[in-house]
Amino acid sequence: MAIFIIILILTIGIMQYRAKWIAIKEIKYDYTLSKKFIEIDEPIDFISTVTNESYRIMTSIRMVEVMPKGAKLFNKKIYSDEVSHGLVHDRYYSKISLTARSKLKRKLELTFHHRGRHVFRGAEVRNNEFLGFGEKNEHHHQLREVVVLPKAIESPQFQEIMGGFLGDLSVQRFIVEDPILTIGIREYTGREPLKQMAWTHTARKGRMMVKQFDYTTEMIVTVFLDVSAVRGKTLSKSQFENCYSLARGVCQYLLRYKIHFEFVSNAVEYGGNEQGMERLGSSHLSLILEKLGRAGYGTSRSYESIIESLTVEQEKDRALVVITPRRDYDKQKLAEDLKEKTGGLLFFIHAEDFGDESHGKFGETFNWEGSA
């Protein structure tokens, strides 16, 4: 009799073990993110869906959802855990129950306090039932990402610098010979060069008059984001972040004042489609901001190689804005050589002039709706 009871218990245990293994295979997991590009501290919805495709009631399903390091859940606790290759991620533990052939959808609200590319890695579903007969795990590796954009520096100091650049750009337009169309006559303000004087109209009106022009070519600026360190030095994360914030601020400033520009960077990029020295124009602001969000703490090309490429491609009289971490004579000299060849305006913005407090001054929030 005792042998029969032992055999019966073992049989039931094996059947339960097999049934639990089959059941955990029939638990499906998926998740979505409400946004792919967000600002720092902007809420985002993490929506997970768990489906029980079996005919069993699952009363003890434990889920471990792997989230990027730095994710902050509202009113929920998550744990840091080191996984393979030394990477550290956050894990959110929860327990749910499902009736037969049912589905559970859950929404969690979270934020990120830091710029960058943040990768979600799916979940591990665990089934622990029937007198603790072991625990069966099923991994659902589903990689999805959210890109957190840098804040744009909009301090009074930045506004003053960009205002000075815009003034220099306007002055250059008067100096540089440019194909133009005469569209009218207006009164002399004292700032126009003598070549714009309308002498016939001046004699007729009895006061100084000048020709009003419509330029057939547009002002175009090349924005070069350089994150290479001065020789013998290294950059801190905050210095990289200052450069990325400045780059966003400059691009949005130029777009606000309808100045056409192209963007070039030598920052490393994670998860993007980086192919050589890609030059993006003002019509691609969404792509530029994405590149800034994906940027890491390193360089993909040297400052010298970018300048050399620009020397070949830069059109005559085009302005060049260089955003760089620190002042460096060698960098200045290379850029001056480019200026001599193209005749365009050269303008340096140094991130060392902007401290960490500049990050607290938000620029305009970029609207991604309908962007490329």
Residue-range domains of the chain with CATH:
27-148 (2.60.40.10), 156-178+217-360 (3.40.50), 181-216 (no CATH)
Do the strands 220-225 and 260-265 form a parallel or antiparallel pair, or are they unpaired? parallel
In this predicted structure, the answer to whether residue 57 has a pLDDT above a threshold of 90 is: no
pLDDT per residue as tens digits for the range 8-48:
565 555 545 544 545 678 899 999 999 999 999 999 999 99
| Conformational region of residue 370, where left means phi above 0, alpha means psi within -120 to 50, and beta covers everything else | left
The token duo for 119 is: 């990768």
Helix intervals (H) in 206-352: 237-256, 285-294, 303-313, 329-342
Q: Are strands 319-324 and 44-52 parallel, antiparallel or unpaired?
A: unpaired
Q: Which residue has the higher pLDDT, 316 or 114?
A: 114
Q: Average per-residue pLDDT in the chain?
A: 81
How far is 40 from 292, CA to CA, in rounded Å?
A: 13
Tokens at 280, concatenated: 């993006």
pLDDT of 295 > 70? The answer is: yes
What are 185-241's pLDDT values in tens digits?
Answer: 778 777 667 777 777 777 877 888 877 665 445 678 999 999 999 877 889 999 999
Among 275, 272, 266, 268, smallest CA distance to 310 is for 266
